[in-house]
Amino acid sequence: MNLSIAHLGPIGTYTEQAALFYLNWLTKNTGVEAVLCPYPSNAQTLRAVAQKEAQLAVVPVENSIEGSVTMTLDTLWQLDSLQVQLALVMPISHTLISCAQSLENIKTVYSHPQALAQCQLWLERFLPNVTLIPMNSNTEALLQLKQDLTAAGISSQRAAQLYNLPIIASGINDYPGNCTRFWVVSQNHLPISHPTVSECARHTSIAFSVPANIPGALAKPLQVLARLNLNLSKIESRPTKRSLGEYLFFIDLEADASEPKAQSALAEISSYTEILKILGSYNVLPINALSEAVSG
């Protein structure tokens, strides 16, 4: 079996790096071979799986500095057939890449909006007068840097090596513990199973909308989880896009949806919601654990 794994491109993005680690881990643990397929956006990456252009997708869902990747959440809400199979957590260290002679010569900095935001304080300190240009990915503009000696990009050390570009500054993210959580997503009927990693707790992600914006609309589902002693690791609201002031909610539970207690909770919560989606139950694995699994 040869699977295709969709991810945000072009080559050199952090998502491609996470997808590559996952590909190697998958091959070692299951014998399944796979190829990487870059797409221009996270939404297109997920739609590729929904439309069966690819069997798997690796998409960023949350950063420790900037929070959730809203395009990923919104697209998963819109697509009914996708399930989260695994979560990967990868450290993120940003570099400033440019052919400029010095920082003083840089007038424009390109990168993904998340990367620009994760380096905001550094940029304000060292490049306070530059123009920041958001791009679809943190490697999209790198090919232009050799032609524009006043431009710079924020990306990874690996991307600088891949595109043979000089690094002006390293570790420019505002907080050293910067990391991103990625989801591995597939259709419900993925023809492979992921090996269980016993030392990693199972998590379940759900999303729901409520019938009306009234007192207690959110409190009732949360009370169900509290009564059954199910811990939340995350809760977030997103606009329904139907009307101003209408929201849907994304919740991460520290439980497996197949556990009886979780099944009882989800059945009861469904009576208080308009739409309830179980996005998936999965293990959360750090990239260094994957690296050890691949090399071990």
Return the percentage of the chain with pLDDT > 70, whole number.
Answer: 93
Task: Examine the pLDDT at 198 and tell me if it is beyond 90.
Answer: no
Contacts of 198 (CB under 8 A, 6+ apart): none
Q: Please write the tens of the pLDDT for every residue from 37-83.
A: 999 999 999 999 999 999 999 999 999 999 999 999 999 999 988 99
pLDDT band at 201 (very low <50, low <70, confident <90, very high): low
pLDDT band at 196 (very low <50, low <70, confident <90, very high): low
Task: Examine the pLDDT at 296 and tell me if it is beyond 60.
Answer: no
pLDDT at 214: 81
Q: Ranked by mean pLDDT, which of 1-5, 22-26, 272-276 comes out on top?
A: 272-276
pLDDT band at 294 (very low <50, low <70, confident <90, very high): very low
Domains of the chain: 2-91+179-295 (3.40.190.10), 95-170 (3.40.190.10)
In angstroms, the CA 278 to CA 40 distance is 27
The mean predicted confidence, pLDDT, of the chain is 90
Contacts of 94 (CB under 8 A, 6+ apart): 115, 118, 119, 154, 155, 156, 171, 172, 173, 178
What pTM does this model have? 0.90
Task: Examine the pLDDT at 293 and tell me if it is beyond 60.
Answer: no
